Amino acid sequence: MSLNALEMKDVSFSYNHQQVLEDINFTIEENDFVAIIGPNGGGKSTLLKIVLGLLTPDKGEVKVFGREPKKALDLVGYLPQHTHFDLDFPIDVFETVLMGRYHGMFKNYTSEDREIALQALKDVDMERYKDRQISRLSGGQMQRVLIARALAREPKLLLMDEPMASIDPEMQNSFYQLISHLKDRMALVLVSHDVGTVSMHVDKIACLNQKLYYHGPAEEAGEGLEEIYHCSIEHISHGIPHRVLRKH
């Protein structure tokens, strides 16, 4: 019997006395490709941070491959929103990816670490940029580098926070192509407020706005619309093609 990549049972989290997540029950199986969709402020990033062990829930149980989140860090890759980076930072592409191989104080990166980092760069087709300083990358290239950094960890669960937010629309297809290749190696979780394009690519959708409203196959998301409506549809559908959403 294989372990689920992620199990959340009755997880609640509040911040400054404000309920952010309420009684979340959520399971991700190995090699699932799940999108968590919801409005900004609906708790998507908070959920990711709980899975990463950066935040501790007020109540409920979180298991990542059967372990406490903090004890499962070596199995989890993370692609943050990269808007917060100082691109002028003195670091090149290879060093950035190598950080994914960090395994403790006083431990040098081994030649194996370097090979894995290089392979991760090959996986995202960025090998030829390995010595380039990060400010000289385009948004899409930078994102590939950050994916490589997450892959260098050799994760079994890859968490991606709003990966669409920072790249051009024409880059989005190549992004999906890239990560669809990863599906047989790991479970993928993608967080987005953009329901339109996401639903065409993922297997399952979860709809989150403080509570988890719908969780199931992407193609049935349309039928689950009545439930999804609860999650403040004006926010999620505003200004994007209504591919999933029928008239409302």
Of these, 17, 83, 104, 112, which contacts other proteins (CB under 8 A)? 104
Stretch that binds other proteins, among 17-25, 87-95, 199-207, 221-229 (CB under 8 A): 87-95
Please state, in angstroms and rounded to a whole number, the distance separating the CA atoms of residues 180 and 184: 8
Residue 43 contacts other proteins per CB under 8 A:
no
Q: How far is the CB of 91 from other proteins (least distance, A)?
A: 6
In a 3-state reduction of DSSP, which class is residue 17? coil
Q: Which residue has the tokens 């409203």?
A: 213
What is the footprint of other proteins within residues 133-162 (CB under 8 A)? 133, 135, 149, 153
Residue 118 contacts other proteins per CB under 8 A:
no
Answer yes or no: are the C-beta atoms of 25 and 48 closer than 8 Å. no
Residue 76 contacts other proteins per CB under 8 A:
yes
- Comparing CB distances to other proteins, the nearer of 151 and 205 is 151
Residue 210 gets the label, from left (phi > 0), alpha (psi -120 to 50) or beta, of left
Stretch that binds other proteins, among 29-37, 86-94, 194-202, 206-214 (CB under 8 A): 86-94
Please state, in angstroms and rounded to a whole number, the distance separating the CA atoms of residues 154 and 102: 12
Angle formed by the axes of helices 139-151 and 111-123, to 10°? 140
Of these, 4, 22, 60, 73, which contacts other proteins (CB under 8 A)? 73
- Residue 142 is which amino acid? M
- Please give the radius of gyration of the chain, using alpha carbons only, rounded to the nearest integer: 18
Q: Which residue has the tokens 């349309």?
A: 222
Q: List the one residue out of 1, 39, 7 whose CA is nearest residue 20.
A: 39
Joined tokens for residue 44: 């998507």
Residue 15 contacts other proteins per CB under 8 A:
no
- Comparing CB distances to other proteins, the nearer of 13 and 78 is 78
- Residue 90 is which amino acid? P
Q: List the one residue out of 231, 172, 224, 232 whose CA is nearest residue 197.
A: 172
- Comparing CB distances to other proteins, the nearer of 189 and 195 is 189
Stretch that binds other proteins, among 51-59, 120-128, 178-186, 216-224 (CB under 8 A): 51-59
Q: Count interface residues toward other proteins (CB under 8 A).
A: 29
Residue 89 contacts other proteins per CB under 8 A:
yes
Of these, 40, 58, 61, 103, which contacts other proteins (CB under 8 A)? 103
Which residues in this chain contact other proteins in the complex, by CB under 8 A? 52-54, 73-74, 76, 78, 80, 85-86, 88-92, 95-96, 99-100, 102-106, 109, 133, 135, 149, 153
